[in-house]
Structure 1
């Protein structure tokens, strides 16, 4: 196998993301229509995982042991193939068998028998096993898990996690739901995961990024004709592709051609949120940026960013005449939930202009205080998981248990384009988009972005993109990538201590083609 040709990681990962059922369908099509034997695919998977192990832990070539922890299905078969290859090449390898080995069948049984013939040492699992060195391979459960991890495997997972040794997960970390990215009772925490045939969507959102570590992919040389037979319902968003939607600047352009964003927010004590949103909109190409905020904030706004047209308003009535000029409205950053914010939201929504709704604007909508659902298709909602729970009237845990279902339900209920923020932010298209049922997943971003004001900056980015003529769906997909990628660049100086305002100068560089 040519690892350099097919093994992919990082931004080179495929864009198509699959559920476990869809990957099984790919597998079936490859076997039935392309004449690919199941055991051939298993051998390729085992070899790809083994070569990745050597790439990530070169000390194995100098005698560092390989310990492969196997369950009882095809995932274990991949593990036994790895064991055979390692043994044939003279590496120190052993298998720890979890569960009843007599239940092996089909290709997995063939792989196990071959490993035994090759002289691979197989030891029955016990928590009393002590391992002081080596690389662990998780080949316990794979994608076939349909419910909570059973007691025996749960015990093995806890034992494995307590060992202070590096872990390679085969196809997906055991116990992680490949469809939702939630932990099914217990999960292996891997340093590296390698996914086969179809990249599993659960690896990239929910707790998937914490559990999976660095994700690699190998298509096992499955022909492209197979992929044409099976649809997928989620795609990984690419910054480079989304940037292509941004209109080019003409020599004769003037500020009026790039839209006017008005940020409405910044109640008492929360002016910084509105200011950061406004600055982000300016740095991402809006021709004009104004801000309607509490009068007490005006001096600070002008001193920080004199390009902003900041106006103090004390009521919705004062806001009304200011709403004639903007082409796009951003509501929520620092808006608060007092009567002041409620009046401003109510007045702004009457305009029917494209709108980004975040933070307290979402909270008021979820309570039915101001705006009745469904919303207009030219709106973008940007809830974090707690706000999503309020919009759906459910618990935070329910949202995080299936983020894909949650973002789709918010979109269906409210009618707008929706960004569900968090690790692996998800985008649900509004009803006007082609392939409107296909979700987008942003795999950029990092834990350093878990800090105050990040959502306010995103709102400003989205407003600027809408102002420049992008549709709500195009703006959401580009905006979430721009924002997260800027966070990755800002975090190069260290994740701890990254502030939302650190992203603003980086955004300008990225949107102009710099990285």
Structure 2
């Protein structure tokens, strides 16, 4: 098995295929032996997750993923399970052909899938249709089988990749298996961790098939999963001036809540001082609700400039709007050259007036904002979130947090991390405002842009998971503030 570090490493499909080829050609592990090991790993996962299962249906495609399925079927029958095999075609080639013959040699029958026929009765369905080989929508017969499996309501174990899911991008171009458990082989595929993939993989496991550490030594991962971390303890003689000063700018008419959430998140993430520049009519509410925020009414750039002079880091955009007042503050803030986090309408204004940043900058777009910044569409962004995040980071010369299921953090030099935490309950107003404040606070405390974005995205998502323990539906942004403080101090929330 690879060292624990490989549990964080994510690879493209091309890289995984090269590793597979290297295991065969350089390490001398035959392809059929790899298939046999994958089948053992899959059966072990099945028995672990469904120890009471007695009947399984294995659905095999024409390629090597189907070969894995035939060997799972053979091993399961040897273990005393009742097994039925459905295949999409009447022939398999190469190692998959050997696996199909091994199933038949043991007396196993292969039933060809017919869309008008019922699925066999089963306690678990095993998906071995396509694996990493499919990057388009499945054709009609396969799509019908996938839909029938889904409609059965029976748990599904997917081998390597849920069929119909693009393992490179996480895109689902057509029908796709919704697995209860996915056991992936050799190396983690990056596309299984972001976008629509998170709805399809279920519980995700990785088995390296007993291959030696040398296999990975010369292959740099395309991306990495974030680790759960926090800032070190503060020096005992620390004071508010040593922990940074964040200026949160935003809160157009009717949007005081956004800038308050941003400022309060910056406080909870450890900033020593947090000022707020907003509309004057919001001051009473802000001072009453959170007196620790130093709220200032600003009517234009002249009133903003002295606040900029005193601040170390800017959080620009929550509730900012896009009118004349908003644009004037936005332009003045960007021209100050201060390190900043840009979100919401700060990003929409950037889409209208693009620039490359010379100061430390973190952009936190959702797919719609990213599409505007790239002069693209949401569908195109979601079709390859990795490419979109990297392109935007390079174009703006900033670290980018592309939000969504499996948020991506991309640097201008191509580095990319994937956030493995977060939940659907966080799909509600104000969550992005919190993230802006958290990342700004980490910048203010000495993190560089990459560190602040990675740590901030991780703390924000983990706090969301803590808050969701009482249920995802009804979760609101302010529910994250208490666990955010605990997690930021290394305390289990």
Report the TM-score, using the length of structure 2 for normalisation. 0.97
Cα shift at 1:22: 0.5
Answer yes or no: is 1:448 the counterpart of 2:441.
no
Q: 2:292 aligns with which of 291, 296, 307?
A: 307
The match for 1:117 is 105
CA distance in 2, matches of 1:119, 1:439: 49
Q: 2:435 aligns with which of 451, 455, 458?
A: 458
Change (3 A) 1:353 1:275: same
The match for 2:349 is 364
Answer yes or no: is 1:54 the counterpart of 2:31.
no
The match for 2:378 is 396
CA distance in 2, matches of 1:255, 1:20: 48
CA distance in 2, matches of 1:52, 1:373: 50
Answer yes or no: is 1:483 the counterpart of 2:460.
yes
CA distance in 1, matches of 2:118, 2:218: 46
Report the 3-state secondary structure (helix = DSSP H, G, I; strand = E; otherwise coil) of the residue aligned with 2:111: strand
CA distance in 2, matches of 1:13, 1:384: 29
Q: 1:202 aligns with which of 182, 191, 197?
A: 191
Give ranges in structure 2 of 5+ residues lacking alignment. Answer: none
Residue pairs, 1:239-388, within 5 angstroms: 239-240=228-229, 243=230, 246-368=231-353, 372-388=354-370
Cα shift at 1:191: 1.1
The match for 1:167 is 156
Answer yes or no: is 1:181 the counterpart of 2:170.
yes
CA distance in 2, matches of 1:263, 1:54: 53
Residue pairs, 1:72-87, within 5 angstroms: 72-87=62-77
Q: 1:493 aligns with which of 470, 473, 476?
A: 470
Q: 1:16 aligns with which of 4, 9, 17?
A: 9
CA distance in 2, matches of 1:151, 1:413: 40
CA distance in 2, matches of 1:464, 1:438: 22
Cα shift at 1:154: 2.1
Residue pairs, 1:209-248, within 5 angstroms: 209-240=198-229, 243=230, 246-248=231-233
The match for 1:42 is 35
Cα shift at 1:387: 0.3
User: Is the 1:87–1:119 Cα contact (8 Å) retained in structure 2?
Assistant: no
Cα shift at 1:248: 3.8
Cα shift at 1:134: 2.1
| 1:275-300 deviation per Cα after TM superposition (whole angstroms, max 9, x unaligned) | 01101100111010110111111111
CA distance in 2, matches of 1:319, 1:130: 67
Q: 1:126 aligns with which of 114, 118, 122?
A: 114
The match for 1:95 is 85
CA distance in 1, matches of 2:424, 2:187: 26
| 1:153-211 deviation per Cα after TM superposition (whole angstroms, max 9, x unaligned) | 22222222222211111000001000000013221111111111011111111100001
| 1:9-53 deviation per Cα after TM superposition (whole angstroms, max 9, x unaligned) | xxx981110111110011111111111111111111001111111
Report the 3-state secondary structure (helix = DSSP H, G, I; strand = E; otherwise coil) of the residue aligned with 2:308: helix
Cα shift at 1:349: 1.0
Answer yes or no: is 1:405 the counterpart of 2:398.
no
Report the 3-state secondary structure (helix = DSSP H, G, I; strand = E; otherwise coil) of the residue aligned with 1:349: helix
User: Is the 2:57–2:122 Cα contact (8 Å) retained in structure 1?
Assistant: no
User: Is the 2:57–2:120 Cα contact (8 Å) retained in structure 1?
Assistant: no
CA distance in 2, matches of 1:7, 1:59: 32
Cα shift at 1:121: 3.0
User: Is the 2:266–2:437 Cα contact (8 Å) retained in structure 1?
Assistant: yes
User: Is the 1:13–1:217 Cα contact (8 Å) retained in structure 2?
Assistant: no
User: Is the 1:170–1:194 Cα contact (8 Å) retained in structure 2?
Assistant: yes
Cα shift at 1:6: 8.2
CA distance in 2, matches of 1:376, 1:389: 23
Cα shift at 1:119: 2.0
Change (3 A) 1:497 1:317: same
| 1:264-315 deviation per Cα after TM superposition (whole angstroms, max 9, x unaligned) | 0111110001001101100111010110111111111111111111111111
Report the TM-score, using the length of structure 1 for normalisation. 0.93
CA distance in 2, matches of 1:147, 1:296: 54
The match for 1:433 is none
Give ranges in structure 1 of 5+ residues lacking alignment. Answer: 431-435
| 1:214-261 deviation per Cα after TM superposition (whole angstroms, max 9, x unaligned) | 111111111111111222211111123xx3xx3541111111111100
| 1:460-501 deviation per Cα after TM superposition (whole angstroms, max 9, x unaligned) | 000100000100011001000000000000000100111000
TM-align CA RMSD: 1.6
Cα shift at 1:57: 1.1
